Chain A
Amino acid sequence: MVTLRIKDIGFSYPGVPVLKGVSLEIIPGEILAIVGKNGAGKSTLIKCMNRILEPDRGKVFLGERQLKTMKGKDIAKSMAYLSQKASYIFPVTVFDVVLSGRYPHRAWNSDRKDEARVGEVLKMLELEDLAMRYFNELSGGQQQQVLIARAIVQEASIFLLDEPTSDLDIKHQLEVMETVRRITRNRKVSAIITIHDLNLASRYADRIIMLKNGLIFAAGSAASVLTGENISEAYDVQVVVNQIDGKPHIIPLRPIRK
């Protein structure tokens, strides 16, 4: 198991500071949800975690090594990234998409073993029937499942998922989250998920980090982070917080005008 530690990272788009010093450590096997309103820095934070974006300051450690000094392929062996809007400009099959997860492991071409592995993972996630379909023709929920299959084939022990449930109906939201939970439990993979739906975060995350203006505003269990007070403060929204199955359940009421 590789650990991921982030120390005081900052990131700015030209003239716009987005992250202003965020530190955190990922616990192996956990689901960590990152919440916060639009522009709080959620996506930027997970992109800084695997060097899709280079932080302006601070350090990211993957195990004992600093991310900055590592080769891209070596980072990819430990960390997989599932983008919010996946699109392949020229149509490729699901099998090819999943097979591309083997890229960091092979110097030149993929081989029989790689193809066999893709077959196994497609079976495991019940995606066999989709194998030869074009990725772009699948529904959003199926696409997320395929990307998860790619990350498994990539043999990453940390999955970074950027808003995997945003475009999905409620059933597919639950299915994607169930798959993520199954994988983290069975394979000791940790998943870091940016998510808008606080109730999904509450239900599935082992730990929640709430961002506000590029800083960690609250961190900890769902019960300690998702309080009415924290949510009003971070989102400018009045909410009612109930309990369902021992987890906070949030009902938004009205925006707070300042």
Chain B
Amino acid sequence: MSGYISPKGKYKKFINKKISVIFFFLFLMFILSGLAVTIGPMKFLFHDVYKVIFNHFFPGCFSVSEILEAVIWKIRVPRILTALLAGFGLALAGAEMQAILRNPLASPFTLGISAGAGFGASLAILMGISFVGGKYFLIGNAFIFSLIPAFIIFFLSRIRRVGPGAMILAGISLAYVFSAGATLISYFSQAEDLKVLSLWMMGNVGKTTWSDLGPLAIVLALGSFLLIWKSRALNVMNAGDETAKSLGVNVERTRIFIMAISSFITASVICFTGMIGFVGLVAPHITRMLIGADNRFLVPASGLFGAAFLLGADIISMKIIAPSVLPVGIITALLGGPLFFLLIVKRRGKDYW
């Protein structure tokens, strides 16, 4: 029979489409990176910028001025890499959290991570108290405190065997406690310190240096490897805990494992960047609209889309009131919010996708 395609053949096409979307996101990431490196408060000629880049791969090819070298290699490239890594990590963690908690409202911050980080930053900036000294006084404290709510929830779920719904509610209640703690400290603080804190909280990918990128990249590489490895178990858990158990998934252990790694990735990102909202909630949804809920593809694709999305937002944040630069956290929500709203309204009649 001509024109007949077997289910297996159709499925193959379906998978190929997902893979091409992943390649498209990769391509988008490269294009945006190429564009971003030419953008900034200082104006340089297009080919001068690329001379600096080439010079790092093939030393001695071109002669470049010191100022050009400093701006491109020490400021712009780390900024681009931070945007890519942060966007990738937050979107990946968001996709994992939504799947493992079986809730479309879940995000990397669902377990109270951002409130914890905010509290840690408040302690460091406003009261000068930190677990960590030296260069990582602020970053280290934000990191440690961001993970405290998550670990309280893991601990409770071990001893009380609570399900996903109770975990989300526990996360929300702990987030309120930590936010209130931060507000309490703020109430007794100086105006200048508060300005520093609120700038930190806004979310900015321009604060990192090459030496920060190493640890961040290692955490993301390891974490995403483990998460992608677990994505088949995550697919089975989409059917609910009982079915997942009946197919041989250790549901409780897998849930804690995935949440712990996602939280660790999120904490590693936001201690360097501050709160970049929205990417972690929305990138997985937009990706799911395009390629469906199969986590083997959704998880890496969300990460790549998140990376492109955050870099795109950062380009806008540098352009919109140039030569001044807005914190990217404002742009992700200000532009991403309406975009997502439109997508949801257009898909009337469907609950999720």
CB distance from B10 to the nearest CB of A (A): 5
Q: Are B240 and A90 in contact (CB under 8 A)?
A: no
Which residues of chain B are near A104, meaning CB under 8 Å? 247-248
Q: Are A103 and B292 in contact (CB under 8 A)?
A: no
Name the residue of chain B whose CB is nearest to the CB of A88: B238
B294 within 8 A of A: yes
B352 within 8 A of A: yes
Q: Are B229 and A72 in contact (CB under 8 A)?
A: no
Q: Are B247 and A76 in contact (CB under 8 A)?
A: yes
Q: Are B239 and A86 in contact (CB under 8 A)?
A: yes
Which residues of chain B are near A95, meaning CB under 8 Å? 7, 10-11, 14
Given contacts A75-B248, A91-B292, A103-B247, contact A132 B7 (CB under 8 A): yes
CB distance from A127 to the nearest CB of B (A): 8
Q: Are B294 and A96 in contact (CB under 8 A)?
A: yes
Q: Are A100 and B8 in contact (CB under 8 A)?
A: no
Given contacts A91-B352, A91-B353, A92-B238, contact A109 B243 (CB under 8 A): no
Choose from A52, A71, A128 the contact partner of B246 (Cβ within 8 Å). A52
Cα A72 to Cα B235 with chains together (Å): 16
Cα A110 to Cα B250 with chains together (Å): 19
Given contacts A72-B245, A72-B250, A154-B247, contact A132 B11 (CB under 8 A): yes
Q: Which of A77-85, A185-193, A203-211 contacts B (4 or more CB under 8 A)?
A: A77-85
B76 within 8 A of A: no
Cα A50 to Cα B242 with chains together (Å): 10
B207 within 8 A of A: no
Chain B, 9-26, contact with A by CB distance < 8 Å: what is the 0/1 string?
011101000000000000
A73 within 8 A of B: yes
Chain A, 45-81, contact with B by CB distance < 8 Å: what is the 0/1 string?
0010011100000000000000000011111110111
Q: Are B11 and A131 in contact (CB under 8 A)?
A: yes
Q: Are A103 and B7 in contact (CB under 8 A)?
A: no
A93 within 8 A of B: yes
Cα A25 to Cα B248 with chains together (Å): 23
A118 within 8 A of B: yes
Cα A47 to Cα B241 with chains together (Å): 12
Q: Are B292 and A93 in contact (CB under 8 A)?
A: yes
A122 within 8 A of B: yes
Q: Is the interface of B mostly helix, strand, loop or mixed?
A: helix
CB distance from A159 to the nearest CB of B (A): 11
The number of chain A residues with a CB under 8 A from chain B is: 45
Cα A47 to Cα B220 with chains together (Å): 39
Cα A8 to Cα B250 with chains together (Å): 26
B308 within 8 A of A: no
B79 within 8 A of A: no
User: Which B residues, 232 to 265, have Cβ-Cβ distances below 8 Å to chain A?
Assistant: 232-233, 235-236, 238-240, 242-243, 245-250
Choose from A73, A81, A131 the contact partner of B243 (Cβ within 8 Å). A81
Choose from A47, A103, A110 the contact partner of B248 (Cβ within 8 Å). A103
Name the residue of chain A whose CB is nearest to the CB of B250: A72
B324 within 8 A of A: no
Which residues of chain B are near A52, meaning CB under 8 Å? 242, 245-246
CB distance from B90 to the nearest CB of A (A): 19
Cα A93 to Cα B288 with chains together (Å): 13
Choose from A81, A109, A131 the contact partner of B232 (Cβ within 8 Å). A109
Given contacts A109-B232, A115-B11, A154-B247, contact A92 B294 (CB under 8 A): yes
Q: Are B246 and A97 in contact (CB under 8 A)?
A: no
Given contacts A92-B293, A132-B7, contact A100 B236 (CB under 8 A): yes
Interface residues of A (CB under 8 A from B): 47, 50-52, 71-77, 79-81, 83, 86-93, 95-97, 100-101, 103-104, 106, 108-110, 115-116, 118-119, 122-123, 128, 131-132, 154, 160
22 interchain pairs, CB-CB under 8 A: A47-B242, A71-B248, A74-B248, A76-B247, A77-B248, A88-B239, A89-B103, A90-B238, A90-B293, A92-B238, A93-B11, A95-B7, A95-B14, A100-B236, A115-B12, A118-B7, A119-B6, A122-B7, A132-B11, A132-B14, A154-B247, A160-B246
| 3 interchain residue pairs of minimum CB distance | A81-B246, A131-B7, A73-B248
Extra pairs beyond A86-B243, A119-B6 (15, CB < 8 Å): A50-B246, A74-B248, A80-B246, A81-B242, A89-B238, A90-B98, A100-B239, A103-B232, A109-B296, A110-B232, A115-B8, A115-B12, A116-B8, A119-B8, A132-B10
